[in-house]
Each structure stands twice: as C-alpha cells, then as structure tokens.
Amino acid sequence: MIRGPSMTKPFALLACAALLVAAAPPRSPEAIADAALKAAPVFDGHNDVPEQLRERRKNILEGFDFRDTRNTADAKTGQAAMMTDLSRMKTGKVGAQFWSVYVSANLPEPQAVQATLEQIDVTRRLIAAYPQDLQLCVDSACVIAAQKAGRVASLIGMEGGHSIGGSLAVLRQMHALGARYMTLTHFKNTAWADSGTDAPVHDGLTPFGVKVVREMQRLGVLVDLAHVSEATMADALATNGPPVIVSHSNARAINGHARNISDATLRLIGANGGVVMVNFYPVYVVEAARVWAASRDAEQARFKALHRGDPATTDAALAAWDKANPMPRGSVKDVADHLDHIAKLIGVDHVGLGGDLDGVEATVVGLEDVSTYPALFVELARRGWPQADLEKLSSRNILRVMKAAEAYATAHKDDPALENETSF
C-alpha cells in the first residue's frame, strides 16, 4: 500500500529526532556540573565567618570589607586569610549558607548564652550591611526567593547545646532571633547530651535532652547531629520527629574519627529522611590526617612533659615538629569518596555539603575556599553522578529537610511549649 504524506510525516520526524539525539555528543563533566549548579546553587550547612569576626575583629564590622577578604592574613599572628567572601561565593555558585554562631564550649553556660546572642547579632548586622548580596532567611520559601533575586540566602545555626544554657526558654528566644538549627553538643558533653569527642556520661540523651529535641522539633529548629556521640544520635532519631541534619560530618567507614558516622547510624539517618553534609577538614576526611593529628597530640604532650614550666620551648619544639611533619591534606577526590560511600549506602537523597570553611585551619587540596565547590561537582560528574543527583547534593536535599521540619512545626503549632524549671 502506498502511504500518503499525512502518514509518513510523523515517522519521518521521529526518525530525524532519533538521529539528532544519536548525533549529540555526550556532555562533559564540566558541563554537567555547571548545569547542576545553575539549576540548584550550593546550600552549604556550616560556615564559621561569625567566629572569624569574633576572633579577628571582636565583632567590630567597621572597616571590614566582606566583598573580598583575601587580604586578611596576619603575618604577626600567623593567621591565614579568610576562606569566605562575597566575590568568591559568587564564583563558587553558593546560593544559600548556614552561618554558624559558634561559641566555645569551655565558657560557663551563662556566658555562652551571651556570646551566642552577640554572634547572632554580628551575623545579622553583616547580612544587613550587604542587602544586594545577602538576605536573612528563616524558612525554605525565603531561601528560594532570595536565590531567584540573586542574593545568598543567609541562615543561622547554633553550634552546641551549651548555647542555650540548659533553658528551653532561651531556646525559644534563639529561635525568635532566627536560629534554625542547633548542634546538640560541640567537642564536650553538655549536662543533657554526650559529645562524640568526650567520655560518655549520659549514654546519649538525658530525659531533659529528649525534651530539648522535642521542643526544637515543635519550633521548627533543625536537629543537628554533628559532633554528638552515636548514642546521642540514636536517641535523637528515636524521637520519630522530622528529618535531622548532620551539618558537617563524614563517613566513619572511610575515616575512623569519632566525629564521623558509622554505617549503622547512617542507615538510621537515611530511614529518618535526614541529610549528612560532608565537610572538607582533612582530619575528618583523610585517615592519614586523623593518624597525623593523634601523633601531633602525643608529641605536644611529650614536649610539655619534657619542658615543664617552659611554654616557649614547648611551642618551639612543636613548631619544629609541624615543619618536619606536615599534615596529609588529601584532595577533592577524598571528599568525593565520602559522598560516594554515603550515597551508595543510604541513597543520594541523603547527602549534602557542610564545608566547615573558616572554622578549620586547613582543607583538602582543591577545596580551599568558597570559590572551589564546582571542582567537587566536576569530580562527581566524572564518576558518573548525573545532573539530577548533583542538584540533590547541592541544595535540593537540605531544602527538602527544611520543608519537612517546617511542615512538622506547622502541624504542632498549637501544642503547648515544653517547660523546665529555671536554674537560678
């Protein structure tokens, strides 16, 4: 039978389309990474610029230019230049940032509360000083709107439960000031939660610690399990609340540091719907760097014992040891290994990035500052990560978790606030 034009045209069009698809060259890893970051800019879970403002400038912003901080090195103190500024954030395709309002866990809790308030204040003042570039956000809708407007959505995270001074009332006031996550501990235990790097005393969360977690969930404050012990992680996950975050931790199967997460707990986080945001600090990334750090601690203790009452000689001996034994830094590939491990174990829906930039003295080679995120995406694209998965890593996963926490808080908005007695 002879087919007329009306019957042959669709087939001809389909054939042409098939030929065009077949003829199209595969996209390069660079093109895949670039497309992913255009569609979903980086939403980083942990950056310590507020700590730098406190340590370097005593929270004085006058004379500070956040557009470019590459000239902030101090030869007298040996302090390196900052890792973060507006110019490099643009290069790095950063669209949203949790700024950590960390204060030392060694502070008495009343002082820690004051210091946290001061850190929230300086963070908000920094954001307000650059209205064309930064926008304070407290929810996912604001993050999306800020990115569309070309500004970096800026959120506040508290690093350590000592920041609330054992008070649910203080937690509520921190939330009112804009805090949207809290890491339950830092490097040492609180009175209600065990840290991953301190001798356990609570076997996880105390009953009050469970109450803290539940009040965070009611408010819509993300529960951050970075720094905490595995028992604390398990207790927090057992509350069956909304998804958690781990704002800057890695996989213990690759690096055995206590700050990292075992496969068993990673599976619990995956089942919870949470996200593990991998960081760039060599001691948590590269096993050889973890071993180096332990050796350095041992040498420091030895020098102190050898030179009792002579800190200058101790410091000189340690400096000489550092010069002879530089820290193994690893590279972008080592960070990608952690992401690969977590994604293969619990799924690509549960990975994110928390670089810990400006909170560490060194990073892996290739991820030295906020301009370098695209290098990691290119490396993952080379390993076969498709654009859709890279978009989940960059920001879609953490936005999903934020939306879930907000939905939980909305559903529980009429629940009474949890209470505890005042301590003084």
Structure confidence by residue, pLDDT tens digits, 240-264: 999 999 999 999 999 999 999 999 9
Please give the distance of CA 334 from its chain centroid, rounded to a whole number.
17
The reported pLDDT for the residue numbered 4 is 43
Residues 113 and 84 in one domain: yes
Give the torsion sign (CA, 170, 176, 178, 183): positive
Q: Supply the residues annotated as catalytic.
A: 46, 48, 159, 186, 227, 248, 356
Average pLDDT, the chain: 94
Q: Are residues 387 and 256 in the same domain?
A: yes
Same domain for 323 and 184? Answer: no
* Residue 23 pLDDT level (bands cut at 50, 70, 90): low
Is the alpha carbon torsion for 230, 234, 235, 240 positive or negative? positive
Domain end residue (candidates: 297, 328, 359): 328
Give tens-digit pLDDT for 253-295. Answer: 999 999 999 999 999 999 999 999 999 999 999 999 999 999 9
Task: Look up the CATH number of the domain holding residue 141.
Answer: 3.20.20.140
Residue 386 lies in a domain: yes
**209 and 322: one domain?**
no
pTM: 0.93
| Tens-digit pLDDT profile for residues 304-324 | 999 999 999 999 999 999 999
Shared domain check, 304 and 225 = no
The count of domains in the chain is 2
Question: Are residue 152 and residue 243 in the same domain, yes or no?
Answer: yes
Please indicate, yes or no, whether residues 222 and 79 belong to a single structural domain of this protein: yes
pLDDT reading at 374 higher than 80: yes
Residue 3 covered by a domain: no
Average pLDDT score over residue span 141-166: 98
Domain that holds residue 298: 287-328
Q: Are residues 57 and 187 in the same domain?
A: yes
- Regarding whether 251 and 161 lie in a shared domain, the answer is yes
Buried b (16+ CB within 10 A) or exposed e, 72-92: beeeeeeeeebbbbbebbbeb
Whether 18 maps to a domain, the answer reads no
What percent of the chain clears pLDDT 70, i.e. is strictly above it? 94
Q: Is residue 49 part of a domain?
A: yes
297 and 165 housed in the same domain:
no
Read off the pLDDT of residues 220-237 as tens digits, 9 standing for 90 and up: 999 999 999 999 999 999
| Residue 10 maps to a domain | no
Same-domain status, 298 and 340: no
